Structure 1
Amino acid sequence: MTILVTGGAGFIGSNFVLDWLRQSDEPVVNLDVLTYAGNLENLASLDGDARHIFVKGDICDRALIDSLLATQKPRAIVHFAAESHVDRSISGPGAFMKTNVDGTFTLLEAARAYWGALEAEAKAAFRFHHVSTDEVYGSLKADDPPFAETNPYEPNSPYSASKAASDHLVRAWHHTYGLPVVTTNCSNNYGPYHFPEKLIPLMIVNALAGKPLPVYGDGQQIRDWLYVTDHCSGIRAVLAGGKLGETYNIGGWNEQANIDIVRIVCALLDELRPDPAGPYARLITYVKDRPGHDRRYAIDARKIERDLGWRPAETFETGIRKTVQWYLDNPEWVARVQSGAYKDWVSKQYSAA
């Protein structure tokens, strides 16, 4: 028994691999192409662990995937691999179409061929778990109810459009070919090993360096925040008990405005690592809003609770404290991911308004 995880060196994927092997001795075959956001250092604690088999490779490489499925014989594929940064999708959408659309198509076709050749018992047990995002649903007004699984898709960025396309492919491969799939759409994740281009780690890293804390527009964009290990437990629940062909929204029940997130991070840093120069909030800098910035996301996670008994274990208060403390405790990790390319990207993206 083994599972194949795609994108298992990225932020959510690596947390999932670590969490899976804390919970189970079932081996993980981890396929990751190691883009800028894929970091094997996230998995350093598994060095020498025979349960973790890492393969550097691209989900668009059909021959490689066919070979892995034939040799490793996984009972499930958990598909994280994706380009995921909205800002990058605006400046360079091509990579998002290739990985998120073409890559998912390639993986589905390989999975379909593999699954179709399995013996009856293994065929019945096989699962293809597609990990997606709440951004496919578009943007909510302040008084709109949270996104439910039945909401129409209204993606507004190249990133969310590419993920919506991949979701539709997964659905079609189930309904047309019978491939046994489940899909989860999560809200904004945060926690350890988060690459410091996303809001929370960027604020922590910049604050500790005494750099400006760039906030888009008026900072009133609202997101639901999900601690990454809660996301991992939700995926395990759906993989184990989710109904085939169904979608499950995984959310944290934690709606927060971006500016409030930044202020909470500043307050925690004031407490845990005071700056002699003064409160970290002095570094908050408003910058020009990004094009097409969705105003609000919120997840209605009642279905997964009702059907599978899952709820997040962390509140935002407990999760954000753990996250800030992790970055304080791991400055070497932060220093190593801050390559020249990363610094160039942040400088280009967050110029003052």
Structure 2
Amino acid sequence: MYPGFSLFAQDLHNIAHQLGSRAQHFAKSSVLLTGCTGFVGRWLTESLLWCNEQANLGMHLHILTRNKKAFLDALPHLEKRTDLSVLEGDILDLGSTRLPDFAYAVLAMNYRNSGMPGWAAHHCTVATLGTEKLFRMAGACGCRAVLVVSSGAVYGVCPLCPDSEVFCEELPSLESRLQESVLYGEGKRFLELFAVSLGQRYNIRVPVARCFAFCGAHLDLNSGNALASFLADILAKREIQIQGDGQTVRSYLYGSDMAVWLLAMLAEGEHGVPCNVGSERAVSLLDLARMCARLTPSCKTVRIQGRAVQGNAPERYVPATQRIRSRLHLQEHVSLEKGLAATLRWFALQKHHG
């Protein structure tokens, strides 16, 4: 790893090489990231800062976060950078946050269920008022593009009245749909449409990235998803536990490929055109667990609990990526095996230095 960066040096080199001349879109400009303090945001942040250094872009990166201290505590090596400003504020209260003019923005919203009674209403408020405030500001400063970071969860939005010749009210009530597994996907779908319509109003290009599952540095091991749980088991030297029957199918795009795809969309993605961002390499959770177990001699046992597990994604959650591959000439460079090995190696290093 290079001083000032938490990602592997090879990953940073690959990102700069694969992004190539597209990085010049960000030369002498300001880029704003909102809702980008987790896995996706950390990869985008370090990717942009690395390209800025290597290509002398003269770019300045601004990150809007509700908790500046928490962000810098997680990434202390970024605190003294002169090409980065970390701004504390809420997208719902942009009027009181002094934001500079920006030419590009990444809009991501990840309000998870807090368990509080008003969570669902707040989720919808952020998607509407927060998005409108950002676009109003973007329009006023001549922003060129806003990349909407959406989710493959939009494909899980089911018709209200399937397999029926007449339209019937859904049962038992709309309150039954105010759960994270439903509202998350519907909220993302609305965000896509609303953002594209605001892009029309303010003459801003709005590409839409429908993100699936990823692996790599900074993966949240407490997120509860299968891969994170498997890696947490390995790092704790426990046997790997599969909560379900292991037949659920997923795919995982490595972080460096994800960063290149998202930045390529920000630079050149078409207005209003959604593109899936993920891997087409499908793998059952049982096979994934076995692959993870083979990465370390300390963990060879995989235990299948066999219990049905309710989650936000369907039994098979794998994207088709022909659109982004053909339109932006992108490809997946890091195999699942290499991506998993790099992810585990990164966390092992963090634990060693930790």
Q: Give me the TM-score of the superposition, normalised by structure 2.
A: 0.75
Structure 1 unaligned regions, length at least 5: 141-154, 336-353
* CA displacement 1:137-156 (0-9 Å, x = unmatched): 1299xxxxxxxxxxxxxx95
Match of 2:62 among 26, 29, 46: 29
Cα offset, 1:178, TM superposition = 4.3
Compared CA separation, residues 201 and 23, structure 1 to 2 (3 A): same
1:323 aligns with 2:343: yes
Checking the alignment, whether the CA contact within 8 Å between 2:92 and 2:130 is kept in structure 1 is: yes
1:66-77 counterparts in 2 under 5 A?
67-68=98-99, 72-77=100-105
- What is the Cα deviation at residue 115 of structure 1? 3.6
**Residue 7 of structure 2: aligned partner:** none
Tell me whether 1:241 sits opposite 2:241 in the alignment. Answer: no
SS of the counterpart of 1:29? strand
Task: Output the CA distance in 1 between the equivalents of 2:190 and 2:242.
Answer: 29
Structure 1 residues 96, 310: closer, same or farther in 2, change over 3 A?
Answer: farther
Paired amino acid for 1:134 = G
- In 2, distance between residues paired with 1:112 and 1:291? 32
1:262 and 2:285 correspond: no
Is residue 165 from structure 1 mapped to residue 174 from structure 2 by the alignment? no
- Residue 294 of structure 1 and its aligned partner are, at CA, apart by 1.2
- Equivalent position of 1:151 in the other structure: none
Aligned residues: 299
Q: Is 1:174–2:207 an aligned residue pair?
A: no
- The gaps in structure 2 that reach 5 residues or longer are 1-28, 159-179
1:161 and 1:195 mapped to 2: Cα distance?
24
User: Which residue pairs with 2:134 in the alignment?
Assistant: 111
Residue of structure 2 equivalent to 1:13: 41
Distance 1:287 1:332 in 2: 34
In structure 1, distance between residues paired with 2:117 and 2:214 = 22
Asked if the contact 2:245–2:304 (Cα under 8 Å) also holds between the matched residues in 1, the reply is: no
State the alpha-carbon separation in 2 of the partners of residues 6 and 252 from structure 1: 25
Cα drift, residue 259 of structure 1: 2.1
Contact 2:214–2:254 under 8 Å retained in 1: yes
Q: Secondary structure at the match of 1:260?
A: helix
Provide the C-alpha distance between the structure 1 equivalents of 2:350 and 2:247, rounded to a whole number of angstroms.
Answer: 30
Equivalent pair of 2:208/2:275 in contact (CA under 8 Å): yes
Cα distance, 1:103 vs structure 2: 2.2
Deviation string 1:204-244 (CA, Å, 9 cap, x unpaired) is 22233244644232121112211122111001111111112
Q: Which amino acid aligns with 1:116?
A: G
Once the two structures are TM-superposed, the CA of residue 110 in structure 1 deviates from its matched residue by 2.4
- Determine the structure 2 residue equivalent to 1:295: 315
Q: Is the 8 A contact 1:248 1:303 kept in 2?
A: yes
Q: Write the distance in 2 (CA, Å) between the matches of 1:23 and 1:175.
A: 30
> Percent of aligned positions with the same letter in both sequences?
21
- Shift, 1:75, TM fit: 0.5
Q: Which residue of 2 aligns with 1:79?
A: 107
Pair 1:191–1:292, CA change in 2 (3 A): closer
CA distance change for structure 1 residues 92 and 263 in 2, over 3 Å: closer, same or farther? farther
Per the TM alignment, residue 200 of structure 1 is displaced from its structure 2 partner at its CA by: 2.0
Q: Distance in 2 between matches of 1:35 and 1:196?
A: 21
